[in-house]
Amino acid sequence: MTEFEPKIIAFVCNWCTYAGADLTGTSRIKYAQNVKIIRFPCTGRIDFMLLLKSFGEGADGIIVSGCHPNDCHYTSGNFHARRRWIMFRGLLDMLGIDVRRIQYSWVSAAEGFKWADIVNSTVNTIRELGPYTEYEKVAGYLEKEANQ
């Protein structure tokens, strides 16, 4: 049996973390290949439904990252996002969706090393937690019915 490779989706903002991840690449820093990056205009645009959809489509972990507080390109998008994440995380915790599978971070355009570190540590965390079978079981219900 091959070792479990976590599938991780990263939702990042265009202005800071995406540029930061770019810097990681141009600096030739190696990091885990498990992450698929989706670029957004701002963390304020990252709807909580998108995170749910990632789990529903089989992601094992999620990274959400944007500009540090006070650095938002749109001045306050990340402040709004932060409040939303606080509420969303509380709700997920109440519902028993494993909050350890979603890593939130601030990564600026200058923090190439930090981005590599965030990805690597998240991959390690998810590797320890294993595949998200509980959610997959719930999500797989429709397919099963279609096959019957």
Partner 1 sequence: MSELIKKAAALLESKSVQVVIGYGKGTGNRTRTIFATQVTECENLIFDSRCVQNLAVYLTKLEIKKLGKPAIVAPVPVLRSILQLAVENQITESDLVILGITSESELIDFESFAAIETFLTTHKIEIEEKYTKTIDAIKAMPVAERFAYWVKELESCFKCYACRGACPLCYCTRCTVDDNQPQWISVASHPLGNLEWHIMRAMHLAGRCTDCEACYNACPMGIPIHLLTKSMLQDVADNFGSYGPSLDKQNTLSSFKPDDKESFIR
CA dihedral over 49, 41, 38, 21, signed as positive or negative: negative
Q: How many CA atoms lie within 13 A of 59 on its CB side?
A: 23
Interatomic CA distance for residues 96 and 78, integer angstroms:
26
Using the minimum distance from each CB to partner 1, give the nearer residue, 28 or 95: 95
Candidates 22, 58, 74, 80: give the one binding partner 1 (CB under 8 A): 80
* Amino acid in position 146: A
Q: Can you read off the two tokens belonging to residue 83?
A: 């409040």
Binding status of residue 56 toward partner 1 by CB under 8 A: yes
> Which stretch in 10-18, 20-28, 30-38, 138-146 sits in contact with partner 1 by CB under 8 A?
138-146
Candidates 2, 26, 30, 83: give the one binding partner 1 (CB under 8 A): 83
Cβ proximity of 55 and 62 under 8 Å: yes
Binding status of residue 115 toward partner 1 by CB under 8 A: no
Query: How many Cβ atoms from other residues are within 10 Å of residue 39's Cβ?
Result: 12
Candidates 32, 74, 79, 120: give the one binding partner 1 (CB under 8 A): 79
Using the minimum distance from each CB to partner 1, give the nearer residue, 52 or 127: 52
Residues paired with residue 8 on neighbouring β-strands, in sequence order: 35, 61
Candidates 69, 110, 124, 130: give the one binding partner 1 (CB under 8 A): 69
- Count Cβ atoms within 10 A of the Cβ of residue 95 and give its class: 0-12 exposed, 13-18 middle, 19 or more buried: exposed
Candidates 15, 31, 40, 88: give the one binding partner 1 (CB under 8 A): 88
Kindly list the residues in this chain that would bind partner 1 in the complex (CB under 8 A): 48-49, 52-53, 56, 69-70, 76, 79-80, 82-99, 103-106, 118, 134-135, 138-139, 141-142, 145
